[in-house]
Chain A
């Protein structure tokens, strides 16, 4: 994995609790993305960032917020976790605007009980 780590790798949490997932990169890439992957849906974009403090919504952003205070870190927060947010979450990075290459992290498996 191209210098991308995600933490935690696995988490079980209860409905209604806040959860923060962290993505850390060592590539100094400008673009960072958060996706969720569910059976039958493929990868769906939650939020992305095109620079420090610059973020935008993806197609499934409801119930999620993000922050990027440093180039290398992109945080995904579930303010009040629900069972529908049980999923595998992937972070991805991309170096340039207008390019299509994305490099994915190893994923975080989140279970909300």
Chain B
């Protein structure tokens, strides 16, 4: 069946290093791909999105890469800080609906 947002469940990085969080998807009909951050006990927070016709988009300290050939999405966080510790989800938007992955828990080691 169709799958979306396959994540590695956990990732640990040293403070100051760059983090790369990966996501795989199977449906090519998505309009947007989106990354969210969720801290414990809170709702998800929008980080950055990318249209399906783009390959790369940069934000403040974050970069999203989209490889449609292998159906892979990644979020790069530069100079990771303790405040970046959270669960990160990728999501796809198709029409009016959003489909979320299961998330990667990022732990930043001081």
Binding site for B on A (CB under 8 A): 1, 31, 33, 35, 40-45, 48, 50, 56, 58-59, 90, 92, 97-98, 100-107
Q: Which of A59, A100, A104 contacts B49 (CB 8 A)?
A: A100
**Number of cross-chain contacts by CB at 8 Å:** 53
**Interface pair B100/A43, CB less than 8 Å apart:** yes
**What chain A residues lie within 8 Å of B32 (beta carbons)?**
100
Q: Is the CB of A102 within 8 A of B102?
A: no
- Please provide the 9 A-B residue pairs with the shortest distance between their CB atoms, ordered closest to farther: A104-B43, A100-B32, A43-B100, A42-B100, A100-B49, A42-B102, A104-B44, A100-B93, A100-B34
A33-B98 in contact (CB<8A): yes
Q: Which residues of the partner chain A approach B103 to less than 8 Å between Cβ atoms?
A: 42
- A residues in contact with B101, CB < 8 Å: 42
Q: Which of the residues B43, B46, B100 comes within 8 Å of A106, measured between beta carbons? A: B43
Specify which chain B residues have a CB less than 8 angstroms from the CB of A101 in the assembled complex: 46, 49
* Cross-chain contact A31 with B96 (CB below 8 angstroms): yes
